[in-house]
Amino acid sequence: MKLGFYPGCSLEGASREYNESVMAIAEEMGIELVSIPDWNCCGATAAHNLDKELSLSLPARNLALAEEAGLTVLVVPCAACYSRFCATQHELMHDENLHKKINGIIEKEYKGNLRILNVIQFIDEFIIDKLDDKMKFEFNKKVACYYGCLLVRPNKVLDFDRTEDPQTMDVVMKKLGADSIDWAYKTECCGAGFSVSFTETVGRLSGQIVEDAEHRGAEAMIVACPMCHSNLDMRRPEINKYNKKKSDMPVIYITQAIGLALGIDRNKLGLQRHFVPVKLKDFKPYTKKTEVENPQKMEVE
């Protein structure tokens, strides 16, 4: 199976391990991820902070290129890129004049036929059902699934999981055999793009997140966004300083967690690249099927 893929700048740079693990599990499941030809940066926070049209044009160019390349589904692992893409799609599809204008700026035409999936949606749709057959280990750890902001908000644009107390990632982790805890900071902001400009603020925000997860007994935090990861992992010294205690709880991507359960080599998953060492071991061999119910799907919000 072939699906469109937008790595985005972080996955090519500071968050290589995320890319590596996405690729590793896709390969294991027989899915080919095809990058958009000649893709460009989505503009991230900087663009929409300074100029609205720029912030729409940069993602729109990528979307148009993807469409030109005949792709219909686009997997966007970086939550920030995912959010920019969804916002662009939403705005263009709801404002005809703006749509025309942006098409003019990028000198391409985006028709709006792409389905944009974040990594959890990708897993939910293409991977979770195949896990039973391929899993070698149980991820028998207590984990805190951290969604951050961009995966779940704003929900009128994203239409993904519920905004408060989302569950999709928890369901995946439970499927892997993990005990995913109920905690308070699931969707609080980690400081996002302020890592470099307001490092202290990031230390505080990420610090509260790490503290709550650890306080409730999590052995690892599971994330699906390179920004969350770099704030929670790379900024650990600032976090520890804010919390006035040392935490060595690792932060791993959900794709890495799946990779571990599938028995993929740790280095192939990029675990060696983390700042906080990933010491998790003693995974139980996988034996029985786990049935997991998604509480979100049982409720009407």
Partner 1 sequence: MARIGVFICHCGENISATVDCSKVAQVAATFPGVVHSVDYKYMCSDPGQTLVGNAIKEHNLTGVVVSACSPRMHEPTFRRACAEAGLNPYQCEMANLREHCSWVHERNEKTDDKAIDLVRMLVEKVKRNNSLQPIKVPVTKTALVIGGGVAGIQAALDIANAGHKVIMVEREPSIGGHMSQLSETFPTLDCSQCILTPRMVEVAQNPNIKLYTYAEIESVEGFVGNFTVKIRKKAKSIDESKCNGCGLCTTKCPNKKNPNEFELGMAKRPAIYVPFPQAVPNIPVIDKTQCTYYKTGKCKICEKVCQANAIQFDQQDEIIEVPVGAIAICTGFDIKKADFFPEYGYGKHKDIIDGLQFERLASASGPTAGEIRRPSDGQIPKKIVFVACAGSRDPAKGIEYCSKICCMYTAKHAILYKHKVHDGTAYIFYMDIRAAGKNYDEFTRRAIEEDDAKYIRGRVSKIYERDGKLIVVGADTLMGAQTVEIEADMVVLATAGVANQGAEKLAQILHVSYDQHKFFSEAHPKLKPVETNTAGIYLAGACQSPKDIPESVAAASGVAGKISCLFSNSELTREPLIAVVDRTAPPQYSSCTGCFMCQSVCPYNAIEREEINDRNGNLVKQLAFINPGLCQGCGTCVAVCKSKSIDIEGYTNLQMYSEVDALLNF
Partner 2 sequence: MSDSHNHLVDNSLSGKIKQNTGVSLSRCYQCGKCSAGCPVSSDMDFPPSLLIRKLQTGLPEHEEEVLRSKSIWYCLTCEMCISRCPMEVDIPPMMDYLRSESLRLKKANPAAKNIIRFHKAFLDSIEQTGRLYEMGLIVDYKARALNLTQDVALAPSMFAKGKLKIMPELIKNRKNIKQIFQKTINKKQK
In angstroms, rounded to a whole number, what is the distance separating the alpha carbons of residues 278 and 263?
Answer: 15
| Interface characters, 206-245, with partner 1 (x: CB under 8 A) | ------x--x------------------------------
> Which of partner 1, partner 2, none has residue 118 at its interface (CB below 5 to 8 Å by kind)?
none
**Nearer residue to partner 2 within complex by CB, 40 or 140:** 40
| Interface characters, 280-299, with partner 1 (x: CB under 8 A) | -------------------x
The percent of the chain in helix, strand and coil, each rounded to the nearest 5, is: 50, 10, 40
182 binds partner 1 per the rule CB under 8 A: yes
CA-closest candidate to residue 3, choices 25, 166, 11, 235: 25
**Nearer residue to partner 2 within complex by CB, 37 or 112:** 37
Enclosing H/E stretch for 269: none
34 binds partner 2 per the rule CB under 8 A: no
153 binds partner 2 per the rule CB under 8 A: yes
Query: Among 8-16, 67-75, 128-136, 251-259, which window interacts with partner 2 (CB under 8 A)?
Result: 8-16
Secondary structure of 56-84 in the HEC alphabet?
A: HHHHHHHHHHHHHCCCCEEECCCHHHHHH
Q: Please give the full DSSP string across 218-235, using - where no structure is assigned.
A: -SEEEE--HHHHIIIIIT
Strands 142-145, 179-180: parallel, antiparallel or unpaired by DSSP?
A: parallel
Angle of helix 52-68 versus helix 96-106 axis, rounded to 10: 70
Considering only 162, 204, 241, 273, the residue that binds partner 1 (CB under 8 A) is 162
Query: Among 28-36, 66-74, 158-166, 244-252, which window interacts with partner 1 (CB under 8 A)?
Result: 158-166
204 binds partner 1 per the rule CB under 8 A: no
| Interface characters, 154-193, with partner 2 (x: CB under 8 A) | xx-------xx----------------------xxx-xxx
9 binds partner 2 per the rule CB under 8 A: yes
Considering only 119, 127, 143, 149, the residue that binds partner 2 (CB under 8 A) is 149
Cβ-proximal residues to 86 (8 Å cutoff; 6+ apart), any chain: 116, 157, 158
| Rounded least distance, CB 49 to partner 2, Å | 5
Query: Among 26-34, 53-61, 159-167, 190-198, which window interacts with partner 1 (CB under 8 A)?
Result: 159-167
In angstroms, rounded to a whole number, what is the distance separating the alpha carbons of residues 259 and 20?
Answer: 10
Q: What is the DSSP letter of 23?
A: H
23 binds partner 2 per the rule CB under 8 A: no
CA-closest candidate to residue 289, choices 128, 141, 170, 169: 128
In angstroms, rounded to a whole number, what is the distance separating the alpha carbons of residues 55 and 43?
Answer: 6
| Rounded least distance, CB 53 to partner 2, Å | 4
CA-closest candidate to residue 210, choices 172, 237, 179: 237
Phi, psi of 73 (to 5 degrees): -120, 135
Query: In the complex, which residues of this chain contact partner 2 (CB under 8 A)?
Result: 9-10, 12-16, 38-41, 43-54, 57-58, 61, 104-107, 149-150, 152-155, 163-164, 187-189, 191-194, 196-199, 201, 205, 234, 272-275
